[in-house]
């Protein structure tokens, strides 16, 4: 008892609506669970409209999943059961053919095959544009209509019982009493019932179905019959056969039940086809039946009729292969859907009969949509991960337990110039700088031995061209799913530029340090030089003071002598003054000579040459011959030259002339044998010159002063106070040494040692 | 003009002493000249005079640059034993050095009267003699 409010039908069949409404029994079935069925997702629902007890208009207001088919089936059965018996028509507005024939066929095979037997005729609503499609796969009692209105009209044409009513005959309707209306309806319903009854028996497919059902029923009776042979109303022979048959059927039913219970425990749908490829047995999980619902109703049907064309076509090919190889084959099938679609794995296995001939095949179907989606997600995430790993600039690697590279990303090539393929399976150690190999090996061993959980180290590697590159190495153990170490995974970050910069910095620092050191050295030298300069300045001051005084003194004397010479009239006296003048000027001359020697020693570079001591001594005495008393002193010369002696001739001359002139000037002439002993001994290394006399000697109080500038023990006409100072300076210049021993009133001995320039190198001074 | 009674001359250059004696003779500068070429000998002489209370020199002419003990050291050593006995003795530096540092140094010695640069002349001696007239007369009293 229901009515419709579907707009299409409402406008077209207002009259019927009004009749139903006037019965005073309106039901908004959308609020009634009996007439409204919601899909398992809760999102979509079907609405069923029943028109005049004979037409069910099924409207889909959403989409449903295959799992909902079973529930819809139950729902429809419930509706049909509530209707009075009679012909039944279905206006199917569930799956409009706007999705294409294949999609419709898929849906039809899952849905309509389950219902087609309920109805005398099914009108499939399809848009006009597609009405020309060759829908030859539709069951015999189905036809295509372009709209609900058309379907309804067709339906009405078949319904003779409803001819009493004229469409849109409002005036007539209005005149009718409630009694009349009810009567009309009842008549119509009765006609309906009759028509449906007739239809059922007139449809050939149904007849055989009924017969089949009858046989099954009889067998069921036989099995459930617990009568003994005696109780059966048949002959003994017959009853024996019957009992045998019953036992046999009993076994068969047992084994079938066993099989069914086994099949029930698995999720897969199992279909068994015979040699003629007709369905002979099936097991479809009630919740998960994929292609066929109530497949028991399709027994004997060829798979090509049973399955939608796409999968049937695939099956054709695979089946041929199975027949040829006698092996089980698999294929996957995708049911197109928005989103991911539905995926199935179809397993086809070869069946053979008792003598090994081909006996058909078994088809096992499993929905693998979720696995597929998971797979796709894994592949997508793997792809994403790969693309990240392949594009990063950091080297990412993985090795096995032996340290051989199992994976390394393309960044490796960028940095090392080695191709990835030529590096794989090689030990990572092969690429470590040879000097660091043992060390890295130790680190890796520690990781493998779980002695540490990671290592982080700056490390040198060698690239394909033998160039060193620096990396920041991060290694950690690579664990498999069970948590055991199967190798090493890690990253290498190129830090060569940083290292180079550090190196440059270090070098610069080193340079700076050495420059600093040099500066400090130079500073120290400068300070020393400054001190030296200060000393030299003071010395120079003293020198200028002394020299100017000593130069001026004889000059002043001479001027004084000139003064008194003017006054004096005595010629003899004047001659005496002239002698004194000469003395003064000689003294001055000697000073100037000494200053020249001093300057020469300080200024001139050392120039060495072969020295002939005998000639030199001779020259010196030639020059000293005007000295007073020179003829009264005995000069003994002893020269022993073991090797050529080279030195600076001018300097050597200065040294010797000073020592000898001192020996002559400060001799003691009031004794019988005044002497001067000159001893010269030269070898390859040096010369030792000794000048010894038995002269006045030197007071020991003055011994440490005799070599200082302008120091004089006594002033005589020819002393300048520079002689020994110049002597020592010159000896120093020649890197020699001078020693003096003296006893007052007994004599003095000077010993000078000078290196032989044949073996001694004078470094040029800065 | 009255002559300086007694004059002490200390200069290591004997030529200078000869010149001074000759000039003094021409100028009628001093009655008695005692000269030494060693400062040490000069000091010994003065010590001896003081010890024996003999007549002190009225003027001492002192050279600066001399070996062993120079003019400055002479002054220091003299100060060590000098008594009122030498109050009327004037000391003149007589040197060939015209160095300003020497001139300044001489001023630091209170007992030095003046600084004279060689060569000595008759004119210079006469001025000095004039300057000392009062002192000479005073000494005679």
Q: How near does any CA of chain B get to the CA of A702, in Å?
A: 9
A13 shares its domain with A77: yes
Q: Which residues of A touch B66 (CB under 8 A)?
A: 715
- The answer to whether A564 contacts chain B (CB < 8 Å) is yes
- Pairing type for strands B4-10 and A737-743 reads unpaired
pLDDT band at A547; cut points 50, 70, 90: confident
Q: Which of B65, B61, B68, B79 is nearest to B17 (CA)?
A: B61
Closest CB from A549, A583, A713 relative to B67: A713
H-only helix segments in A296-368: 303-306, 309-325
Search chain A and give the residue with CA nearest B16: A557
A282 shares its domain with A346: yes
Q: Which residues of A touch B67 (CB under 8 A)?
A: 711-715, 721
Question: How many Cβ pairs closer than 8 A exist between chain A and B?
Answer: 74
Q: What is the pLDDT of residue A766?
A: 45
Tally of CB atoms within 10 A around A265: 8
A363 shares its domain with A434: no
A14 shares its domain with A154: yes
For range A539-555, the mean pLDDT: 85
Q: Are A538 and A557 in contact (CB under 8 A)?
A: no
Closest CB from A545, A568, A715 relative to B12: A715
pLDDT band at A423; cut points 50, 70, 90: very high
Q: Which residues of B touch A584 (CB under 8 A)?
A: 15
A140 shares its domain with A170: yes
Q: How near does any CA of chain A get to the CA of B67, in Å?
A: 5
Q: Is A177 helix (H, G, I), strand (E, B) or coil?
A: coil
A347 shares its domain with A246: yes
Q: How near does any CA of chain B get to the CA of A616, in Å?
A: 32
- The answer to whether A555 contacts chain B (CB < 8 Å) is yes
Return the structure tokens found at A719.
């002393």
- The answer to whether A561 contacts chain B (CB < 8 Å) is yes
Q: How near does any CA of chain B get to the CA of A684, in Å?
A: 42
Q: Is A640 helix (H, G, I), strand (E, B) or coil?
A: strand
Q: Are A361 and A273 in contact (CB under 8 A)?
A: yes
The answer to whether the Cβ–Cβ distance between B15 and A545 falls below 8 Å is no
A577 shares its domain with A616: no
CATH code of A410's domain: 3.30.450.20
Tally of CB atoms within 10 A around A300: 11
Mean pLDDT of chain A: 76
Residue A60 β-bridge partners: A46
Return the structure tokens found at A223.
């099995």
The answer to whether the Cβ–Cβ distance between B99 and A712 falls below 8 Å is no
Q: What is the pLDDT of residue A689?
A: 96
A94 shares its domain with A139: yes
**Structural domain containing residue A136:** 7-202
Search chain B and give the residue with CA nearest A702: B68
DSSP annotation of A170:
H
Question: Percent of chain A beyond pLDDT 90?
Answer: 25
The answer to whether the Cβ–Cβ distance between A713 and B68 falls below 8 Å is yes
User: Which of the two residues, A510 and A111, has the higher pLDDT score?
Assistant: A510
Q: Which residues of A touch B16 (CB under 8 A)?
A: 556-557, 560
User: Which of the two residues, A143 and A229, has the higher pLDDT score?
Assistant: A143
pLDDT band at A629; cut points 50, 70, 90: confident
Return the structure tokens found at A487.
């190798």
Tally of CB atoms within 10 A around B98: 14
DSSP annotation of A713:
S
Q: How near does any CA of chain A get to the CA of B85, in Å?
A: 31
Chain center to CA of B66:
15
Q: Are A416 and A431 in contact (CB under 8 A)?
A: yes
Q: What is the pLDDT of residue A18?
A: 40
Q: Are B17 and B44 in contact (CB under 8 A)?
A: no
DSSP annotation of A304:
H
- The answer to whether A531 contacts chain B (CB < 8 Å) is no
Residues A678 and A662: their CA atoms lie apart, in Å, by: 13
Structure-derived torsion over alpha carbons of residues B119, B121, B124, B129, reported in degrees to the nearest 10:
120
In a domain, A736, yes or no: yes
Q: Which residues of B touch A559 (CB under 8 A)?
A: 118-119
Q: How near does any CA of chain B get to the CA of A635, in Å?
A: 29
Return the structure tokens found at A507.
């070098």
In a domain, A544, yes or no: yes
The answer to whether the Cβ–Cβ distance between A549 and B97 falls below 8 Å is yes
Return the structure tokens found at A173.
């309707």
pLDDT of A131 higher than 90:
no
Search chain A and give the residue with CA nearest B63: A553
Residues A637 and A40: their CA atoms lie apart, in Å, by: 141
Q: Which of A303, A269, A262 is nearest to A283 (CA)?
A: A269
Residues A88 and A123: their CA atoms lie apart, in Å, by: 11
pLDDT band at A405; cut points 50, 70, 90: very high
Residues A671 and A664: their CA atoms lie apart, in Å, by: 14
The answer to whether the Cβ–Cβ distance between B23 and A555 falls below 8 Å is no
User: Which of the two residues, A265 and A467, has the higher pLDDT score?
Assistant: A467
A478 shares its domain with A577: no
Mean pLDDT by 10 residues, chain B (141 residues): 90 90 91 92 93 91 89 92 84 90 91 92 90 75 57
**Which CATH superfamily, name and number, covers B28-122?**
Response regulator (3.40.50.2300)
Q: Which residues of A touch B19 (CB under 8 A)?
A: 557, 560-561, 563-564
For range A275-301, the mean pLDDT: 72
Q: Which of A538, A532, A537, A587 is nearest to A721 (CA)?
A: A587
Domain boundary among A153, A172, A202: A202
pLDDT band at A148; cut points 50, 70, 90: low
pLDDT of A513 higher than 70:
yes
Return the structure tokens found at A14.
């207002």
The answer to whether the Cβ–Cβ distance between B67 and A563 falls below 8 Å is no
Identify the sign of the CA torsion A585, A590, A595, A600. Answer: positive
Q: Which of B39, B35, B11, B10 is nearest to B21 (CA)?
A: B35
Domain boundary among A570, A603, A636: A603
Phi, psi of A281 (to 5 degrees): -160, 150
The answer to whether the Cβ–Cβ distance between B22 and A568 falls below 8 Å is yes
- The answer to whether A605 contacts chain B (CB < 8 Å) is no
Q: What is the pLDDT of residue A207?
A: 36
Residues A719 and A531: their CA atoms lie apart, in Å, by: 31
In a domain, A760, yes or no: no
pLDDT, tens digit (0-9, with 9 covering 90-100), for A494-510: 998 888 898 899 999 99
Number of domains in chain A: 5
Q: What are the distances in angstroms from CA B75 to CA B38, B40, B85? A: 14, 11, 16
The answer to whether the Cβ–Cβ distance between B99 and A553 falls below 8 Å is no
- Pairing type for strands A737-743 and B30-36 reads unpaired
Residues A656 and A647: their CA atoms lie apart, in Å, by: 13
Q: What is the pLDDT of residue A242?
A: 63
User: Which of the two residues, A713 and A609, has the higher pLDDT score?
Assistant: A609
Return the structure tokens found at A469.
């590159």
Q: Are A397 and A409 in contact (CB under 8 A)?
A: yes
The answer to whether the Cβ–Cβ distance between A552 and B97 falls below 8 Å is yes
Q: Are A452 and A425 in contact (CB under 8 A)?
A: no
Q: What are the distances in angstroms from CA B32 to CA A371, A568, B6, B7, B64? A: 147, 20, 5, 6, 22
In a domain, A747, yes or no: yes
The answer to whether the predicted template modeling score (pTM) of the entire model surpasses 0.80 is no
Search chain A and give the residue with CA nearest B38: A714
Tally of CB atoms within 10 A around A630: 16
Q: How near does any CA of chain A get to the CA of B64, in Å?
A: 10
pLDDT band at A709; cut points 50, 70, 90: confident
Peptide bond into B119 cis (omega under 30): yes
pLDDT, tens digit (0-9, with 9 covering 90-100), for A714-751: 655 457 788 899 999 999 999 999 999 999 989 999 99
Residues A754 and A689: their CA atoms lie apart, in Å, by: 8
Closest CB from A557, A567, A713 relative to B13: A557
Q: Are A664 and A731 in contact (CB under 8 A)?
A: no
pLDDT, tens digit (0-9, with 9 covering 90-100), for A251-276: 776 766 776 666 666 667 788 888 88
The DSSP H or E segment spanning B36 is strand B30-36
For range A183-188, the mean pLDDT: 55
Q: Is A463 helix (H, G, I), strand (E, B) or coil?
A: coil
Enumerate residues 6+ apart whose C-beta is below 8 A from A756: A643, A644, A645, A646, A647, A682, A683, A684, A685, A686, A687
The answer to whether the Cβ–Cβ distance between B22 and A549 falls below 8 Å is no
Q: How near does any CA of chain B get to the CA of A583, in Å?
A: 9
Q: Secondary structure of chain B: what % helix, strand, coil (to 5)?
A: 50, 20, 30
Return the structure tokens found at A149.
């209105």
Q: Which of A384, B28, B15 is nearest to B7 (CA)?
A: B28
Q: Is A143 helix (H, G, I), strand (E, B) or coil?
A: strand
A657 shares its domain with A524: no
Q: What is the pLDDT of residue A111?
A: 64
A474 shares its domain with A506: no
Closest CB from A559, A560, A567 relative to B26: A567
In a domain, A462, yes or no: yes
Buried b (16+ CB within 10 A) or exposed e, B115-134: bebbbbebebbeebbeebee
ipTM of this predicted structure: 0.90
Return the structure tokens found at A251.
């076994």
Q: Are B38 and B14 in contact (CB under 8 A)?
A: no
A473 shares its domain with A405: yes
Q: How near does any CA of chain B get to the CA of A549, in Å?
A: 5
Rounded to a whole number, what is the largest CA-CA distance in chain A? 212
Least confident of A122-131, A182-191, A443-452: A182-191
């Amino acid at each position: 008892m229901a009515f419709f409010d579907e707009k299409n039908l409402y406008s077209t069949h207002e009259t019927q609506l009004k009749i139903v409404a006037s019965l005073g029994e309106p039901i908004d079935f959308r609020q009634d669970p009996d007439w409204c069925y919601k899909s398992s997702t809760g999102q979509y629902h079907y609405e069923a409209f029943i028109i005049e007890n004979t037409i069910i208009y099924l409207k889909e207001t959403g989409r449903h999943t295959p799992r909902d088919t079973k529930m819809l089936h139950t729902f429809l059965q419930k509706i049909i059961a509530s209707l009075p018996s009679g012909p039944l028509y279905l206006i199917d507005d569930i799956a409009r053919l706007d999705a294409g024939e294949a999609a419709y066929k898929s849906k039809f095979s899952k849905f309509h095959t389950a219902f087609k037997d309920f109805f005398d005729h099914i009108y499939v609503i399809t848009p006009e544009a597609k009405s020309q499609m060759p829908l030859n796969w539709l069951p015999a009692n189905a036809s295509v209509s372009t709209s609900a209105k058309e379907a309804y009209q067709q339906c009405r044409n078949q319904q003779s019982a409803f001819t009493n009513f004229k469409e849109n005959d409002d005036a007539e309707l209005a005149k009718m009493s409630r009694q009349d209306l009810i009567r009309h309806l009842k008549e119509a319903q009765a006609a309906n019932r009759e028509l449906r009854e007739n239809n059922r028996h007139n449809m050939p497919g149904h007849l055989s179905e009924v017969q089949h059902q009858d046989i099954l029923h009889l067998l069921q009776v036989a099995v459930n019959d617990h009568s003994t042979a005696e109780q059966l109303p048949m002959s003994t022979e017959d009853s024996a056969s019957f009992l045998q048959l019953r036992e046999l059927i009993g076994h068969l039913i047992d084994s079938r039940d066993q099989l069914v219970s086994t099949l029930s425990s698995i999720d897969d749908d199992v279909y068994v086809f015979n040699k003629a490829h007709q369905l002979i047995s099936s097991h479809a999980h009630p919740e998960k039946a994929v292609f066929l619902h109530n497949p028991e109703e399709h027994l004997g049907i060829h798979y090509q009729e049973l399955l939608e064309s796409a999968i049937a076509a695939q099956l054709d090919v695979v089946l041929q292969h199975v027949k040829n190889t006698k092996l089980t084959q698999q294929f996957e099938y995708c049911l197109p859907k928005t989103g991911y679609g539905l995926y199935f794995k179809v397993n086809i296995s070869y069946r053979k009969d008792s003598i090994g001939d081909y006996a058909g095949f078994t088809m096992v179907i499993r929905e693998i949509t979720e696995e597929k989606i998971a797979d796709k997600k894994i592949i997508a995430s793997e792809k994403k991960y790969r693309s990240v790993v392949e594009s990063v600039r950091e080297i990412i690697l993985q090795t096995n337990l032996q340290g051989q590279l199992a994976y390394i990303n393309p960044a490796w090539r960028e940095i090392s110039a080695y191709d990835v393929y030529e590096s794989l399976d090689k030990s990572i150690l092969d690429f470590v700088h040879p000097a660091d190999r043992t060390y890295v090996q130790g680190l890796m061993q520690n990781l493998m031995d779980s002695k540490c959980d990671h290592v982080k180290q700056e490390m040198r590697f060698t690239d394909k061209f033998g160039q060193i590159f620096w990396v920041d190495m991060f290694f950690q153990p690579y664990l498999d799913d069970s948590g055991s170490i199967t190798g090493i995974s890690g990253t290498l970050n190129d830090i060569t530029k940083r290292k180079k910069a550090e190196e440059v910095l270090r070098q610069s620092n080193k340079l700076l340090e050495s420059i600093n050191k040099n500066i400090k050295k130079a500073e120290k030298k400068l300070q020393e030089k400054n001190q030296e300069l200060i000393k030299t300045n003071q010395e120079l001051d003293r020198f200028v003071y002394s020299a100017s005084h000593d130069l001026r003194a004889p000059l002043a004397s001479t001027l004084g002598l000139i003064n008194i010479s003017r006054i004096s009239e005595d010629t003899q006296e004047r001659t005496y003054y002239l002698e004194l003048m000469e003395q003064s000027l000689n003294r001055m001359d000697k000073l100037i000579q000494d200053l020249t020697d001093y300057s020469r020693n300080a200024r001139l570079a050392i120039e060495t040459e072969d020295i002939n001591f005998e000639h030199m001594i001779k020259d010196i005495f030639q020059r000293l011959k005007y000295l007073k008393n020179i003829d009264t002193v005995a000069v003994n010369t002893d020269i022993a030259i073991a090797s050529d002696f080279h030195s600076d001739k001018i300097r050597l001359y200065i040294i010797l002339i000073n020592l000898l002139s001192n020996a002559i000037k400060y001799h003691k002439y009031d004794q019988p044998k005044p002497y001067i002993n000159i001893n010269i001994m030269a070898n390859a290394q040096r010369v030792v010159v000794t000048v010894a006399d038995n002269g006045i000697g030197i007071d020991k109080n003055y011994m440490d002063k005799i070599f200082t500038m302008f120091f004089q023990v006594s002033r005589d006409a020819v002393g300048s106070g520079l002689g020994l100072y110049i002597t020592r300076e010159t000896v120093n210049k020649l890197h020699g040494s001078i020693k003096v021993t003296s006893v007052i009133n007994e004599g003095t001995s000077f010993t000078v040692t000078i290196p032989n320039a044949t073996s001694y190198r004078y470094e040029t001074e800065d | 003009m009255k002559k300086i009674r007694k004059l002490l001359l200390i200069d290591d250059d004997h030529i200078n002493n000869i010149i001074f004696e000759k000039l003094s003779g021409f100028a009628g500068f001093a009655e008695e000249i005692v000269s030494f070429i060693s400062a040490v000998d000069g000091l010994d002489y003065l010590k001896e005079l003081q010890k024996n209370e003999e007549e002190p020199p009225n003027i001492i002419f002192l050279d600066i640059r001399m070996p062993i003990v120079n003019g400055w050291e002479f002054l220091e050593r003299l100060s060590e034993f000098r008594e009122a006995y030498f109050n009327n003795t004037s000391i003149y530096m007589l040197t060939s050095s015209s160095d300003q540092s020497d001139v300044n140094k001489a001023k630091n010695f209170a007992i030095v009267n003046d600084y004279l640069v060689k060569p000595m002349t008759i004119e210079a001696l006469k001025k000095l003699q004039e300057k000392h007239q009062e002192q000479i007369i005073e000494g005679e009293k």
